[in-house]
Structure formats: C-alpha cells, structure tokens
Structure 1
C-alpha cells in the first residue's frame, strides 16, 4: 500500500489548484473498490496481533503478525479517561497489565506506566521472552503512526455503551489518517447500534457484525446480544437485516468445544451477500474444516499456523 500513500500525497499536493480533485476522488474510489475486491478472497486476521507468540496488543505481537504476512491486524479499542483510543481487549486492566480497575477511569499518562507484557511470560512459558517485560499499552495513534497505510486494520469497538463518543472519535481519526479512503480498515463490533452509527458516519467503511452463540438457560443456542436467532433458526431476513449496514458476520466457531456453526450457516450467509469471518481459530484441524466449508477469513492468534495451512492447500490444489 506504500504506492497508494505516495499517490495520495502527490495528488493532494497538486490538487490544491483544484484541477486534480477528480483524480484524487478516483484514486480513493479505486482503493476502496480494491479493498472490497480483496475481501472476496480469504483473509488472515491476526487476532490482537500474533498474540499466541507475544503479549496481545503490543509492538511485539503486531510486528510479528506483520512479519508473518497477516492480511489484517485486529485491534480492540477502549477510551482512556482523557479521551484517547487505547488498544486493549478487556474493559479492565487486571488480566493483561499490572494495573487495576476499568480502562476508562485512567488517564493516558497513568495507562502508559503499566507493564502490559510480563503477564504473558507467566501465562505462556513456552513462548516467554524477557523482551516482553514492561511492554507498554499502545494508543491507536501510535499504531497508525508506526504502520500507516502499509497494513490493514480490523478494529473492534469495545464496550461502546461506556463510551458515547467512541464511534465518532474513531471514524474521525481513521478519516484524518486517510485509512478509510485508502481501503485500509474494517470495523467490527458485537454492538449493532455501534456499527449502525459508524455506517451513518461513513458508509465507505466495511463493517462486520460479530456474533457469539452459546447455550441459554434451556440449553439451546442463542446469540449473546440478540442480533440473530440460533444458527439453525436463522432466516434470510435475519441475514438481510445485517446486510443493510455490514459486509459480513463474525461468528464464533465453537462454544466449550462444541461446534455452533456449520457449512449451511456459511452458505446461507453467502447467499445473502455476507462474508463470514470466524473466530478465534488456533488449531490447524479447525482451520482446515472451516476452509472446506468456504469461510472467507479467520481470526487467529497464530497467523503462521494459518499461513502453513493455506500453503499446504495451495500445494495440493485445494485452493
């Protein structure tokens, strides 16, 4: 994507005369169309970076994911007390840092003092590395500054009910960085209202509705937020309601070791013009199964494992 950044910079500079404004628009439209076309191919989505190898949402995990050739870096974003977008999965700090309490109750200066890496060495001794100690939490600004338009970002709005300004702040930042126009970002969420707000702010951003299927009180499957009924009961109308604002769905593949979606779910989503990006797939047998079913992308903590599966399939002529 480096060539897109150079082209955009040149056109914007020359476009100050007003003569090349149509060319700028054409280049941006071309980048967006290319992203939509690329999404029709299988996507390797690095879940919180290469988070199976290094502490999630740190430079270590992101850099490894880029080196492994992932198509998208997946980021979760919360907001600090002073309004900065922070790359962290959990609502609170305890699991992945030495801090305590909700992210939203801490200023950026406080969050930046926390150790976001040492926990990984204790939790994953086989992948431990002394270099991970004292890794710092990152802002979205820092991530964009490091990678620019050279990578694509798959961003989740986390706990949007806690951050009324999250959607507008995120979209404004992505637009200012040229990432929307460059076809460099997908936004996902479990929150349908969050995605619908983003769609209203900028309909050019591809959106993915996350889904979580698990047993309800009566033991039958239900979707966590009520966006759809159980997979076996989904109708075309249910999928069409999502297709009104999103390009795809992101369902979990299993719950507690039991498969919750199948090939028919994926085919039905496709019949309603929706992509299927399933999460979080770390074993190669499951990767192969989902690929056989026709899934369009997988979230994984181990992009290298998924790349191996894809390479093997190419060699054997399955893809």
Structure 2
C-alpha cells in the first residue's frame, strides 16, 4: 500500500471522505463501515475536542448542520454530544429512502471507535486524521491525537511506509507539531492555493505529502511533479466526478478523497 511520501505508479488509492458520505450520514460508523465494505483503501475523518477532552469526528465547528442539536462542539461534553441524532438530516435516514432500513449506527463517532474499526478490519486500511484549526484548544488537539494513537500502538511506526495513520491539517503549525513529536508519522499539508502548496511551506514543516483540492489541481497539475521531485506524494480532495477521477489517475495522484468510494473504485478499475 502506498503512503504519503511514496511515488505511486499504479492508479490512485481511494480514501473515503468522512466515510461513504454520499450514501450515508458523514462521520458515522455506518458510513465508514459501508466504505470499508466497498473496498476503500483508506478513510478520512475530521476531529475536534469536546469540552471534557474527548476527540470526536465532527467536521464543522458547530453541530447544527449534521445533528439534531445546536451548539459549538468545543463547548459541549461528550455526553451532551452523544444525546444528539446524527443521521436524521441525511436523505438515507428519511422514511422511504432505499437506505433507511439499513443505515446502521448513525450516532456520534469518537476517534477511538473509528481507529478500532480500521485496525480490526480484515485488510490493511489507513486512517487519515485531519485536525481542525483555528480552535480554542490549539496544540492540545495534536497532543491528544498522538496520545490516542499511542494507546493503539500506531503513533510510532517502524517506518512511514508501515504507518496505519496519517495526520493532516490546513495549519502548517499543526503539521509541524506532529512531525516534531512523531518523526515517522506521515503528514499531509492541506491547502487551496497552489503557490502555498508548491512553495517552501511543506519543506519547512516536514510534510510527507501535500493536499490540494481538485479545483486547485485542475488549474495546476504540475503540483504532482513538483511534489514527487521533493519526495512527496499528492493527496487530492474531494474527487467525485468521473472526469476528475480520470484526471487524477492520469496525472499521477497517489491518494484521492471521495464521498463515493464504491463508484470511484469501480471507475479506476474500469480505467
């Protein structure tokens, strides 16, 4: 399996963006279980800290969009967050939906539970963990992530190529904190500006990969070669359109994040 930092000559590896989030509610156990069953090579999640110090998989600063509640994640306890419904907003949870009877667990997902799912799966899968910034807890987020990974024995891999986890962020400081504390942990510096990702920032923080959006990569496909020349891979988000999947394959992207892992895998196999 390739890693951020490898130069990939095969088709891109598929990362389920927030799980199989086109079909099931994002960041739920149901969505990740579906993605893994569909053959995803990796899974991606966003993590935030609760007010009582737990890492939970929630993308937004607030829970309003993806739950039955309202409020800021960092101001709520784990128990308060667990009392909310995270599936009803999604079309799959609505009466009459083809997925409504088989959506599975759509409760709050902790990073602990997702790591357990990935490590217990019957084949090797990587977990891509994005830390969100700016947040009120600052560097504590990265420290908590590494402490959690250490509990599962995957915070200090024998080599980057054998790592089961990858840590990502749009914050260069966050990537540097991971690199400094866990030198062999693969990292991805995310961004939307080609000048930023193609410049010195990734070198400065020791990122093993860069992560542009598909829109940025479309405008600057040379980012793939620039990254490879510096020993880095390229992780592209969020790739759902067939033409974009083909494009990523053709320019040599290593990892593509998609909301549709089954369809993306099928497209790559067909190509």
Q: Report TM bin, short chain.
A: 0.7 to 0.9
Between 159-168 and 99-108, report the one with greater CA deviation. 159-168
Conserved 8 A contact 1:279-1:298? yes
Q: Secondary structure at the match of 1:57?
A: coil
Alignment partner, residue 164 of structure 2:
184
Q: Work out the CA distance in 2 between the residues paired with 1:36 and 1:292.
A: 18
Conserved 8 A contact 1:116-1:134? no
Residue 246, structure 1, aligned to residue 220, structure 2: no
Q: Work out the CA distance in 2 between the residues paired with 1:134 and 1:303.
A: 19
Q: Which has the larger radius of gyration?
A: 1
Q: Work out the CA distance in 1 between the residues paired with 2:5 and 2:176.
A: 23
Q: Out of 229, 232, 239, which is 1:281 matched to? A: 239
User: Once the 2 structures are TM-superposed, how far is the Cα of residue 175 of structure 1 from its aligned partner?
Assistant: 1.4
1:119-158 equivalence runs, <5 A: 119-121=89-91, 128-132=99-103, 135-148=106-119, 150=121, 151-158=125-132
Q: TM-score, normalised by structure 1?
A: 0.74
User: Once the 2 structures are TM-superposed, how far is the Cα of residue 38 of structure 1 from its aligned partner?
Assistant: 9.2
Q: Work out the CA distance in 2 between the residues paired with 1:187 and 1:168.
A: 12
Q: TM-score, normalised by structure 2?
A: 0.86
Conserved 8 A contact 2:24-2:30? yes
CA distance 1:91–1:170, change in 2 (3 Å): same
Residue deviations 1:270-291, cap 9 Å, x none?
Answer: 2222211111011111100121
Q: Out of 57, 67, 72, which is 1:102 matched to? A: 72
CA distance 1:111–1:121, change in 2 (3 Å): same
Q: Work out the CA distance in 1 between the residues paired with 2:118 and 2:222.
A: 38
Give ranges in structure 1 of 5+ residues lacking alignment.
Answer: 1-33, 213-222, 314-319
1:1-319 equivalence runs, <5 A: 36=3, 39-41=6-8, 42-121=12-91, 128-132=99-103, 135-148=106-119, 150=121, 151-164=125-138, 165-180=140-155, 181=157, 183-212=163-192, 223=193, 229=195, 234=198, 238-239=199-200, 241-244=201-204, 245-254=206-215, 260-313=218-271
RCO greater where, 1 or 2, for CA within 8 Å and sep 6 or more?
2
Conserved 8 A contact 1:287-1:306? yes
RMSD of Structure 2 on Structure 1 (CA): 2.5
Residue deviations 1:34-89, cap 9 Å, x none?
Answer: 76499544321100011111001111100011111111110100011100000111
Q: Work out the CA distance in 1 between the residues paired with 2:174 and 2:183.
A: 13
Residue deviations 1:117-167, cap 9 Å, x none?
Answer: 010127998665245498211111122233326432100001253222111
Q: Work out the CA distance in 1 between the residues paired with 2:202 and 2:89.
A: 38
Q: Secondary structure at the match of 2:21?
A: coil
Query: Is the helix fraction higher in 1 or 2?
Result: 1
Q: How many residues align?
A: 257
Conserved 8 A contact 2:118-2:127? no
Q: Work out the CA distance in 2 between the residues paired with 1:274 and 1:230.
A: 15
